[in-house]
Structure formats: structure tokens, C-alpha cells
Structure 1
Amino acid sequence: MSHTVEKIGGTSMSQYQAVRDNIVLHNRKPDGYYQRMLVVSAFGGITDGLLECKRTGAPGVYATYADAEDDSAWEQTLDNVCNRMAQINEDMFAQTPERALADSFLQDRIAGIRDCLHHLRQVCAFGQFQLAEQLQTIRELLAAMGEAHSAHNMVLYLRQSGVNAVLMDLTGWRTDEALPLDDVLKQALSRYDLSSQLPVVTGYAHCKEGLMSRFDRGYSEMTFSRLAVLSGAREAIIHKEFHLSSADPRLAGEDQVIPIGRTNYDVTDQLSNLGMEAIHPQAAKGLRQQDIPLRVRNTFEPDHEGTLITTNYRSPSPCVEMVAGRRNIFAVELFDQDMVGRVSHYAECFTDELDGMRLNLVSKDMNANTLTYYISGNRKTVRTLVSALQRRFENADINTHKVSVVSAVGSDMSIPGLLARSVAALNKANVPVRAVHQSLRAVEMQFIVDDEFYEQAVVSLHDELVQTHAETVALAVA
């Protein structure tokens, strides 16, 4: 096939003019608008309002409904989100005919959700029905609203510019059954002609597997990935509000970081482990297995080719491509003199407890009698983990430390002396190193530092491993 499947994130969607001008229309004649599908997220901040804030945890409609004793709290929260969505309609369409269509669509969906939540409260008033058993379904219903709104609006908006955009609504609104995800997508694909239509696809897809229960807020990337795989796309593209760069420009400086031209799926897995997902690992899996290239582009620089991610790419010469990291990590250190010769048993118990509490393991190290796991999660859950481990191993000493993980990442980092240079750079920047992990595969090297030194560690490693290398290459070319 000659088509592309393209995902647009929520921050980019809020800049809907840029989406139209830079993604859909840029340097294209009318017959070039097609042979592509756009998978859209909700407008920025809307899913936070419908569920809970991803960054702060502040409750949205879902969290308020789950905890409220009466209807007034969640209804007010729903009204607030509805008002924000209506304001988006006004900003996009002013007093044009499309405004009435957008408002009507919004009001119908919100009224349906409100009725559903009211009726569920009434049913759960009977002892035989438990609200807790329905919460995941409610979460999916609310999440779907954000993508339905943004996709419908984008269809109307693009039609104003002469694009034959059509809505591919995968949210399962008022459907009777849930099919497997692949069946849902195959049925949807059969209804569209990519040579003359531009499908705008809801990032949420209602399916038997329950995307949110498996991938939570990463569900839109799974929809995007499976659409690309099932339709045989020649390329999958993610449009973000920034380049995939050699470091966070807010730390290393916008004039110092370098957009990554090419890398591989191995590198994106390392970034995902650090909480910096270019794409969800399970979404990347399907693309990788079908050998579909993934491109990450900056919405606001349409002439830049972005980052091309493929399966077999290796940098022409060994180098560090990126310096990335993760703050607010808990190092949970378990020391037990009786561990000698039984490390695997302790590790298995440790992992069982982690999985049961849904904590994210970022890294780990061990010696004869000590296991240290570096974990992402909230302090309360980590304390619960420590208590569970203490019950299992009564004679163990268990301590926790707040740390950060800073990593040098690249498709080929087999560089003699790289570790020594890195430690020297950190030492020069007065960053104490708590632990170091360097794998044989030479795709990542991790440094554990106290949380207060995170920014200094990123900047010093980027200066030494990326900037110095780039300057050396530039001089060699000159």
C-alpha cells in the first residue's frame, strides 16, 4: 500500500490550525490530501478533565464519580469539561454552520453519558450490583468522549478547507457488542476509500480486550499501531509538539540539543523504560514485526523530516544519540545475609510483589546478598511494597532512597573509554554517582544519582557525550 497512518497528540490537536496547515495541507495539491489516515487524541487537557490529571493526579469526572457520595460533585465536574469543549467549538468555528453541528454532537454525547452515569447509580443502589465492578467501563466511556469530540471537530474543520474528511468513530457509541480490536479495525477499514477520503480516526477504540485496562492512557497508540499493521501502511507517523532530540531542550538548551535523524526500535524501548515514550512498547512491537518504519515529526516544523525509526538501523559510527532520564525514582534496597546462593528466590518474590502493586521497574542491580530495585511509583505504594517484603523476609534490612536515573542511549555505543569519560564529566560537574549500569549490548548506560543532581547530570553528560562528539564530527567534515 502507498498510504500512511498518522497520529496527532493532544497538544498538537489544540493547535488545530497548525494541524490543518502543517500536516494536512502543507505542500499538497487537492489530490494529495488522501492515501493517509489521521488518528487523533483529545484536545489538550480534555482527557485529564474526563479522567484525572496525568501529571498531578487531580480528579476529573471519573475520579469524582468513583469517590462521590452524591451526584452533585461529578455532575459539576462533567459540566466544567463540557464547557471547555464547547469553548473549543466556539474558537474553531465561531458562528459558521459547522459550529451548530459541533455543538449538537457534543450535547448529544454528554447527555448520553450523563444519563448512563445516573442510571448506573440507581442500579447500584441495589445490593446485587457493585459500582466497583463497572468503574473500568465508565473510565473507557469517558475517555472515548475526548477523542470523539476532537475527531468530529477536525472532520468539520478540514471540510471547510475543501478536504473530503470523514469520521472513523471507533468509540462503540450505542453499539450492542464488543468485538476483538483487530475485527473492529478491519470492519472500519472496509468502509473507506483512501484514494478519495481522509479518515479522521478516534484514538480510543471500543473492543473486547478493553484498551484502557491493558494500556491505560497509551490506548491511542495501540489503535494507531494496529491500523498501520492491518492496513499495510508504508509508514507510521507520530506528530508531536517537539522533535525527538538528543536531550530535553529545557535542560540542555534549545540551541544545544540536536534533533535525532535516525534510530531504531531498540532505542525507543530504552526511552519508554525511562518514561519518555516515543511510542508505547506494545504499539512499537506490531510495527517492528511488520517492518513498518515509524517517523516522529514536529507539528510546527513541517519541512523537517523528523526522526525515522526502523528495526535494523545502527549509527554509521558508534556514538551516544541521546541523554535522557527519569526523576523521582525510589531505590528499594534489600540486604539479607541469608541471600547468598538464593538470589533468584529473593528476586522472584520481589518481582511478584512489584507486579501485584503495578509498580514500574526501571532498573535493578544485585550482589551476593543485596538486591536493589529502582522503581517508579508513589511513596504510599512503595511503603506498602516495603512492608510486604519485610513480612516475607523478616531478617532482611530494607531501605529506600529517592534517586534519579540518567541514561546515555544509542543504537551503537561500543566506544572505548565511554564509561570513564562519563564518570569524569559527572565528577567535574560535582555530581555524586550512586550506581552505574552498563550492559554488554552497548545501547544504554545508566547512572543513578541523588534526585537533586538530576539536571546537572543530564547537562554534563550531554555536553561531554553528544555535543563534543558533534563538534568533532563537524571539524572533521570541515
Structure 2
Amino acid sequence: MKVLKFGGSSVAKPENIIKIKNIISKYNDPIILVVSALGGVTDLLLEAGSLASAQDQSYKKILSTLEERHLSTIKELIPVIGQSKVLSKVKSEFNILETLLEGAFFIGEITPKLSDKIVSYGELLSSYIISEYLISEKLDAEFKDSRELIITQKLNGKNVVNFTKTNANCSAYFKASKKKVIVCPGFIATSEEGVSTTLGRGGSDYTAAIYAAAIDANILEIWTDVSGMYTANPKMVKQAKAIPHISYEEAMELSHFGAKVLYPPTIQPVLSKGISIVIKNTFSPDEEGTLITKSKNEKGKTVRGISHIGNIALLSLEGPGMVGIPGISKRFFEVLSQADISVVLITQASSEHSICVGISANDVDKAVSIVNEAFEYEIERGRIKQVIPEKDLAIVALVGDNMKSHQGLSGKMFSTLGKNNVNIRVIAQGASERNISCVINENDVKKALNALHEEFFEENIKQLNLFVMGVGNVGAKFLEQIKEQRKFLKENLKLNIRVIGMSNSRTMLFDEKGIDLNDWSTKLAVGQKADKVKFLELVNSLNFRNSIFVDNTASEEVSNTYSEYLGNSISVVTCNKIACSSAFENYSHLKSLARTYNAPFLFETNVGAGLPIIDTLKHLIASGDKILKIQAVLSGSLNFVFNNFNDQTTFHDVVKQAQEEGYTEPDPKIDLSGVDVMRKILILARESGNQLEISDITNNPFLPEESLNTANNDEFFASLVQNEAHFQSLYTSAKKSDSKLKYVAQFDDGKASVGLQEIPKGHDFYNLEGSDNIVLFYTERYPNQPMIIKGAGAGAAVTASGIFADIIRIGNF
């Protein structure tokens, strides 16, 4: 004989009840079918009782709604010819229920006995209707009232099951019954005095477990709306998956920490007899579900699930008067126990100076009051501090039988949370080492669960969540590269890159599931109005793990937001040179934030676009080398200009071409004035360990004063035409000495300079083609023959690839 229990969601609608009939029709063994009240009915009955006791007539509206729902369920399930008897019975029961509620209304209160009586109608009605439906479908079924089988007795003021009488009743009845399906209401029982009682939270599961243990069933099946116990809450962790097989202890740990499929006390009857439990999905009956057995030792499996309890508050009892004083802990827990306050987590300092407990936030005000009252004497004398609660917290727990035999799990857990800026308030680990728990801010729960699930269950595939500011030439190429490489990165580098938000100067777009990069421009065009402050607020409110802000702009305003992102453990990747070439104090502050909040701040593309210049420099410094001198051509745009300018062209036309092909900044004067190169050599000097400001760099301009003083691009290009003779003279001078014009940046002996130079044949810079960049690093290890980095140093595609490379670096951290 099997015991099957179907919860409220499984019997919420007539079509769901039909699914139950289809499921049990496939069984050959006799079945005890335990059912809950129709979904939501128990809460409505409690509300009706509360309203009636408050002498609020609106309880009648709830009663009417409940009656109509049950009657319509009968009419949908049972053929017209068989409805009369069932409708009459249900209406009769509602008349009794109405009388009970009227009683509460007239006396203006509701006793526990009366409340139990009222609430019991949810299961009584649903089980009777379902039994009659099954009979109408020609199944060999009957209804049996659980109140005739399960007997409770008073123990310490609470109703508990009298298993001696209950087991005798169940054994006698179920052995004598010849029916294939026996439908029983869950949750309800009868006291030894013959009064209706309820079994409390998880009561229907408890009913099913009592029956299974009483008849020594070979299995207990609990049917619900999910396909078993999951590695994490699937509503919060999309990648969560059902656990095929798990032990009783693991299941109870997960259930205690928020996995609502099971309520731990309810499975005690079957646990003591070693009866297996299977969790199945009413709506996907063919899925495997989760099998729960006495033991499950699966090699290689350490953490079996991640769960959490929300709405937690912490109470800390601390003070010098606790040290070495026996009985303090006893008094503390006794006070909470007497107030019926459950403690869900305990941790105590080895110094005995403090005890910290986690309780439901609903009980915190009462707890604070009674604890402070109980220790009033010690508080007044300064021996114990007044208890002050911490609220808006949650407990996150790793669960697994085999965790005790594996080292480093705690470190791995806390390191993962730390990397994602999840602050851990309290840590607790039982002696069994079956769970490792910590208390965190409730706002961080989703991020914590996803980060931990990714670490322990997702085959080391790391999800990176990008927020992209600027989708022009560089930004568009960057998005295209992500789209093209996504599959490769997932398969080969175990990186799953999603773009969650993006913005241009006009509109912005967010999608928590990831923006489809096949038509992002269409969606962005109709997105909400761009707002840099709101963009930052949305990024912070989403609070995703592994978040990266990508700045593809040249905006100072955007660069000023970096500290906000880094301070919230959001990494920053940028091709915008303004932040790193701003005041040294700001540059240093950003680097410090990145270290403090474990949020990488990468800006490889600030110098040399996609060339690994800064990365190479970092490795040289980290390995103990020292930079002696840097010589470089760092402007791809200026190299392009002077490689294409000669006596057959005009300087104006070449600069215009460079702008149109994306080699220059939108304002080409930034490049030609030397400001852009000054920023680059400044960044290299700073990354070499030197404290310089932009004002410390000598700029030897080649542009006429007239061009430097222009107010806009039109004026600037007009000035180039007017000063063509000046530019031709620069070219002629270089040609005469068989040299080439190159715009060179140099850092030597703590001093930096930029300017146009005539480079002779044989020099490393002489044959630099197109828009290429070149850097010569003279170091203690490379004093005579420098380390040379050379390649394309401008263009949207190579800059985008440099940004992409920084993203991958973060993914590999």
C-alpha cells in the first residue's frame, strides 16, 4: 500500500484535481490519498474567523466566496446526474461553518478550539469532493475522515499525536478496507475528548507520514508544484535543478533553511521507520523528482543544496558580566522559550563574552523587551549591555552529508560571498558539519544564492553581468564581439556573458534576463530616457553577482561615477582615459576602492587600444622589475595622420579622413593638441609607480596657436586649411633629413614630455605604419635592448577587443 499526499496547489482548481485522478489511475497498489484544502482556503478560513471575532460583518463575504468556489468545483468535476448528493452535503457543511462563525461574531472572540473547528473545514470539504469525483469516474474509492483515525492528546499545553491509539486505529482500518483508493483529509485530527483539532504547520504532510508509518508503507509520495527538492530556490536561482537522491538529514536541513517542499517535523514518523519519501510534481508527473532515503553517499558530491531563511533578526547578549558566570545561557534561552520564540541559529564567542541568536523578525520586538527585562539587574550595573536587535537579515546555508570530509568548503563559501560584496554578519557551523550557515543582509540573498550556486553546482561556468554605457562605434563593435564569441567563451573559458543594461546619450535599456544582442539597437531606440543617475540606481538595485560596468564613452561625467560602482563591488572596465589621467588623488582613490571592495578596475584600452601595454607593465612591476625609461608612439590617430600626410596631400584632408574612419576622438583637437597622448604617458608613468599630475608633463605642440584656440570642429578644420604652409614646412624639414614625423611620448628620470619629432632611419619608430602604436620599456632587466610592444593602436574593432579582453580577465579572476 502506498501513501500519496497532494498539497494545496495540486487541488487548487478542478483541472488540477483531474490531473490527480490521471496520476493515481496508473497505480496498481492500493492507495491512501491524503489531500490538503483547496489552494488558499485555509488562509481565508483563518481570516474569516478573525473578522468574525472582531465583529466585522465582512466575514460573510469570505464565507460566500468559499461556498461558491466549492460548489463550482463540484459542478465542473462531477456529472450532473451525480451532483445532487454532493452539493447537498457541501451546502450542509457550509451551514454548520456559518453557525460557527456566527458564534465567534456574537461572543466577539475566537478560542483555539473554535479556530481548529473552523479551519478543519478546508480539508474536510476538499477530500469529500475529491472522493466523490473519483467515484464518479468509476475508481474504486471511498472517503475516510482522518478525525476518526488520528487521536491527539495534550502535552505541555499543546496537541500532540497519541501514536498508540492512532497506530491501532490506522492499522485496523486500512487492513480491513478493500478499496483501491481511500481519500483522507490532511491536517485534522480529534482530541481524546472527541473535539476537532489540527496538526499545525505542515499538517497534511504529517497526516500522510503518520499513515505511512502506521501501515509500514513501502514509500510516501508527496506531490506538489515543483519537481522535487532543488539545489536552490528555483524562483531565485534560474539554474537550480532538482536533486535526484538525498538523505533524510540533508532533506531536513534544506527544509529547515527555507526549502518549503517539506516541513521537517512532519516526516519524523517515516524517518524513524526508514520509509522512503519521494517528492513529485503534479503538473509534470513524468519528471523524476527527489527520492529521500535513510542515507545517500554519492562520491564527489559535497554540497547538495543551498537554502535560506528570510525575515531574520539577530539578538546579541554581551558584556563582561557573562564571562565565567554559569547559567547566563540558560536564562537567555529560557526567557525566549517561555515566550514561545523559536531560535533558528546560535553562535557564541569562545571568550563567553557574547551569545548571538537568530530569530524571526516578527518576534524581535517582544524578544528585546523580555530579554532586557530578564537581565535588568545586570544591565543597570553595566555587566551586560542592553540588547539591541539587527533587522532585515537572512540566513544562507550550504547543506550536504559529505561536507564534513571535505576541507576548504567554508573558505570557498565565504570567499565567493566576499568577492560579490556580500557582508557576513554571523557564521554558524554545527558539529555534524552537515550545514554551514551565515547571516547576511536580506537584500543580498538573491545575489548570494546565485553566486554560491554558480560556485558549487554549475560546472564552474561563471556568469558575468554587464552594464554598458556608450554604444557608438566602439560600443557597437564590443556588443557584436560578445554575440559572436558567447558560445566559444561558455564552452572553452566557462564564462557566460550577459548584457543586462545599456545606454547611449538618449535612451537606456534594461533586461534582467539579458538583452538579446540580435536586435539591441531596435529595443534601445524605444527604451526609457537616458539618465546616468538612474542607470547607476538600477545597477545597484539589481544587485547581480559578478557585475561589470563598461564605459565606452569619452565623458568626464560618466568617469565621475566610477567610485560609486566600485564602492558597491561592481567592477569597472573603461576605454575612457579621463579618470586615470585626472588628479592623482582621484586615480589613487579608484585603485584603492577596487582593492577594498574586490572589484577590478581595468583600463587596458586607455593606452594602445587592444595592445597589452598596461597588462605587460603590471606584470613587470609585480615581478620586481623597475621601469627606467619609456619611449612610445601612443597616438594611432597621429601616426595615421603623419603616415598619410605629404606634399601631395593637405593636412586638413588627412585629419578629416582620420576622423571619418574613427581614428580620432570626436573632437580631433584632443588628439592633435597632444592632450590625448599626455593622458596616456601619464597613465603609464603612474602604473610604473610614479606620482605625477597632467600639469607635470611637458607638451611641445606642433599646432599653430590659432588652431589650438578654436571653439569647435568647424573652426578647427578651417584653421588647418589656413595654416597648410606651416604643416608643409614640417613635412619638408623631415624629408630633407631623410626622417619621418612621429608624435613621441617619453618618460625618463621622473619627467614626461610629448611632442612631434623627426625620426631617422634605423630607429624603432621609423617604419611604424598606419595607425600602429609602439612602446619601448627600458627596465633594470631590459636596460639596453628594450621590451617592445607594437601593433594596431586605434580603431573601434581593436579598442572593443581590448575591452573584451579586460572582461575576460575579470572572468578569470
Deviations 1:100-146 (A, max 9, x none): 33321211111122234445766x59xxxxx56xx111121122111
Q: Verify the 8 A CA contact 2:191 2:197 in the aligned structure 1.
A: no
Cα distance change on mapping 1:116 and 1:211 into 2, 3 Å: closer
Q: Verify the 8 A CA contact 1:359 1:377 in the aligned structure 2.
A: no
TM-score relative to the length of structure 2: 0.51
What SS does structure 2 have at the residue aligned with 1:300?
coil
Specify every segment of 5 or more residues in structure 1 that has no aligned partner in the other structure, as ranges: 52-59, 126-130
Which of 345, 352, 358 is residue 334 of structure 2 equivalent to? 352
The separation in 1 between residues aligned to 2:135 and 2:170, in whole angstroms, is: 21
**Cα shift at 1:214:** 7.7
Aligned pairs (5 A) from 1:67-78: 67-68=54-55, 72-78=57-63
Q: Relative CO higher for 1 or 2, CA cutoff 8 Å, sep ≥ 6? A: 1
Q: Verify the 8 A CA contact 1:265 1:311 in the aligned structure 2.
A: yes
1:233 aligns with 2:220: no
Q: Which residue identity does 1:166 align to in structure 2?
A: E
What SS does structure 1 have at the residue aligned with 2:84?
helix
Aligned to 1:56: none
Deviations 1:205-229 (A, max 9, x none): 3222799978423222221111111
**Cα shift at 1:186:** 4.1
Number of residue equivalences: 442
Query: How large is the Cα RMSD of the aligned pairs?
Result: 3.1
1:41 aligns with 2:36: yes
Aligned to 1:443: 434
Aligned to 1:328: 311
The separation in 1 between residues aligned to 2:218 and 2:328, in whole angstroms, is: 46
1:430 aligns with 2:421: yes
Percent identity between the aligned chains? Answer: 22
The separation in 2 between residues aligned to 1:38 and 1:118, in whole angstroms, is: 33
Aligned to 2:374: 392
Deviations 1:415-434 (A, max 9, x none): 22211211221122221122
Cα distance change on mapping 1:468 and 1:417 into 2, 3 Å: farther
Q: Verify the 8 A CA contact 1:61 1:77 in the aligned structure 2.
A: yes
Q: Which residue identity does 1:25 align to in structure 2?
A: N
1:25 aligns with 2:22: yes
Aligned to 1:247: 232
Q: Which residue identity does 1:62 align to in structure 2?
A: G
Q: Verify the 8 A CA contact 1:34 1:196 in the aligned structure 2.
A: no
1:467 aligns with 2:465: no
Cα distance change on mapping 1:212 and 1:372 into 2, 3 Å: farther
1:113 aligns with 2:97: yes
Which of 158, 166, 173 is residue 142 of structure 2 equivalent to? 166
The separation in 1 between residues aligned to 2:14 and 2:195, in whole angstroms, is: 26
Q: Which residue identity does 1:221 align to in structure 2?
A: D
1:63 aligns with 2:53: no
1:13 aligns with 2:8: no
What SS does structure 1 have at the residue aligned with 2:236?
helix
What SS does structure 2 have at the residue aligned with 1:399?
coil
**Cα shift at 1:191:** 4.2
Aligned to 1:382: 364
What SS does structure 1 have at the residue aligned with 2:33?
strand
1:314 aligns with 2:297: yes
Deviations 1:422-461 (A, max 9, x none): 1221122221122222334221111211111111111101
The separation in 1 between residues aligned to 2:430 and 2:167, in whole angstroms, is: 39
Rg larger for: 2
Aligned pairs (5 A) from 1:68-107: 68=55, 72-93=57-78, 96-107=80-91
Cα distance change on mapping 1:242 and 1:459 into 2, 3 Å: same
**Cα shift at 1:470:** 9.8
Cα distance change on mapping 1:468 and 1:445 into 2, 3 Å: farther
1:272 aligns with 2:255: yes
Q: Verify the 8 A CA contact 1:35 1:194 in the aligned structure 2.
A: no
Specify every segment of 5 or more residues in structure 2 that has no aligned partner in the other structure, as ranges: 155-160, 380-384, 463-490, 493-813
Cα distance change on mapping 1:63 and 1:271 into 2, 3 Å: farther
The separation in 2 between residues aligned to 1:211 and 1:419, in whole angstroms, is: 50
Q: Verify the 8 A CA contact 1:218 1:280 in the aligned structure 2.
A: yes
Q: Which residue identity does 1:65 align to in structure 2?
A: A
The separation in 2 between residues aligned to 1:201 and 1:358, in whole angstroms, is: 31
Q: Which residue identity does 2:64 align to in structure 1?
A: D
Aligned to 1:55: none
The separation in 2 between residues aligned to 1:251 and 1:212, in whole angstroms, is: 39
Q: Verify the 8 A CA contact 2:189 2:198 in the aligned structure 1.
A: no
What SS does structure 2 have at the residue aligned with 1:249?
coil
What SS does structure 1 have at the residue aligned with 2:123?
helix
Q: Verify the 8 A CA contact 2:335 2:370 in the aligned structure 1.
A: yes
1:300 aligns with 2:298: no
1:148 aligns with 2:124: yes
Q: Verify the 8 A CA contact 2:222 2:279 in the aligned structure 1.
A: yes
The separation in 1 between residues aligned to 2:132 and 2:69, in whole angstroms, is: 18
Cα distance change on mapping 1:358 and 1:83 into 2, 3 Å: farther
What SS does structure 2 have at the residue aligned with 1:258?
coil
Q: Which residue identity does 2:241 align to in structure 1?
A: I
Q: Verify the 8 A CA contact 2:307 2:396 in the aligned structure 1.
A: yes
Aligned to 2:133: 157
**Cα shift at 1:87:** 3.1
